[in-house]
Structure 1
Amino acid sequence: MEKRYSLNAETFNFIIKFEAEVPEGKEYSNQELVELFRQSTFHKPIFDTYKMSNAMNKSLWYTVK
């Protein structure tokens, strides 16, 4: 059986781990966070197949908010 992943859950886990490593006062744009997420272990290839081209962008924005 194929394991199912949730983009929202994975972006949440990414931000929780990432925020512990960010130096105080450092700021990132949403696009920078998307690129860092894509390079992380939380990104799964299935997320690149989602029809909505900015799904990762929206998910990260929502998670940060």
Structure 2
Amino acid sequence: MPYGICADCSIGALLREKVRGCCCGALKAIREILDDGHLGNAECLSRIEEMVATHERLGPKGGSRHDFG
């Protein structure tokens, strides 16, 4: 297991659930932006860029695939 977390222990289960919730929340937020018919393409991209930039500040980087202008 990564970082020495036991798959069977309650702390490991709590961490996995927390990560899953954060990931699902981020995907839901992106989906809501994409589905908002009132946003133009530039504003939609700008909002998603803000989310990606926040994610990169807090955690993993986007690597070479994050090349927003």
Give the TM bin, normalised by the shorter chain: 0.3 to 0.5
Q: TM-score, normalised by structure 1?
A: 0.36
Higher relative contact order (CA 8 A, sep 6+): 1
Per residue, is there more helix in 1 or in 2? 2
Instruction: Flag the structure with larger Rg.
Output: 2
